[in-house]
Chain A
Amino acid sequence: MTVLRERASRVWLVLVVLTVLTTWGLSKDLLAPSVAVAGTFLVVAIKVRLVMLDFMALRHAPVRVRIVFESWIVVIVVAILGLWILTPVVNPSVV
């Protein structure tokens, strides 16, 4: 089928697998919160990058534009994870 030969289709499949992995795998209590949160947001970075490069066609955009958008991913993921680390832990008995 033509659709399956498109790069966008392969990218969509990867995005679906990564979503299932984070929603129904990483977020569960099997892993330590730090591992789960770090893993989840690294997957977020990969997913956003794939959407930008392959759905928005930034892969073939001028490199300066690509750098701006890819930097946005780095900034938000580093900020979110950095602030998560700086946040006090919660005693499970009070939640």
Chain B
Amino acid sequence: MLRPVAEAAEEYVDDSTRPMTAPASRPLAIGRLPGVDGIWAVIGADSVIFAVLFVSFMLDRRQHVAVFEASRQTLDSTLGGIDTLILLTSSWMVALAIQALKRDAMGRVSRYLLFGALTGLLFMMSKSIEYAEKFGHGITPATNTFYMWYFTLTGIHLLHVALGTALLTVVWVRARRGTYRSVNRAVPESVATFWHLVDYLWIVLFPLLYLMRAGS
């Protein structure tokens, strides 16, 4: 039987209202998540979706391992490695922007955010070159199962990069206008958190598609 809402609410204890002097037995509850809570739900859901895609890729690879290995060898791992270095650098710049924002060093915040957005753009250009090269050789998602996965996984990731770059650009413009301060940083922190998700998804995707050799 459902209880009255008021009764249930009386039993509910909100962690955020606990005093700073929490008992020593509960030190693990102390801590803060950057950005707004909603962004962490998005990141959690996205991470689960990508985990399912990674496992599905591996299951398909199990069925067609020779095709996957032959196709994988046509990918340019040097370009993929450079893409990884670009995204890592971009993520680093955005992390530095948030550190600078916490100190109200607004000049540096703008510069780091701009560099973060530009490196996002650089990643998109690199991927465009890679796709153009594939299409130039007549390779499309319909070529075989591996390329279907290659275009799907890198394509979904590229959409994330495009969205992240657009958001970084908006935050950069607003930072230049003086919209944010250390006490008002939830939006830039949320965008930064999303950008780091884009980074760590690529950290898994790159070796999965480009580097994973078949057993012999």
A interface list, Cβ under 8 A from B: 3, 6, 8-9, 11-12, 15-16, 19-20, 22-24, 26-27, 33-34, 36-37, 40-41, 44, 47-48, 51-52, 54-57, 60-66, 68-69, 72, 75-76, 79-80, 83-84, 86-92, 94-95
Say yes or no: B59 contacts A83, CB within 8 Å. yes
Surface stretch bound by A, among B1-9, B28-36, B119-127, B132-140: B28-36
What range describes how many residues of B lie at the interface?
Answer: 35 or more
What are some 22 contacts across the A-B interface (CB < 8 A)?
Answer: A8-B92, A16-B88, A23-B81, A27-B207, A27-B211, A40-B207, A40-B211, A47-B203, A55-B94, A56-B192, A61-B31, A62-B30, A64-B28, A76-B51, A76-B54, A79-B58, A80-B55, A83-B62, A89-B216, A90-B69, A90-B215, A92-B216
Q: Is the CB of A8 within 8 A of B95?
A: yes
Q: Does B73 contact A (CB under 8 A)?
A: yes
Question: Any chain A CB within 8 A of the CB of B212?
Answer: yes
Number of A-B contacts defined by CB within 8 Å: 153
- Asked whether A88 and B65 contact (CB < 8 A) given A23-B84, A55-B196, the answer is yes
Ranked nearest first, the 4 interchain pairs of A and B with the lowest CB-CB distance are A23-B81, A83-B58, A12-B92, A90-B214
Neighbouring A residues of B61 by C-beta, 8 Å: 83, 87
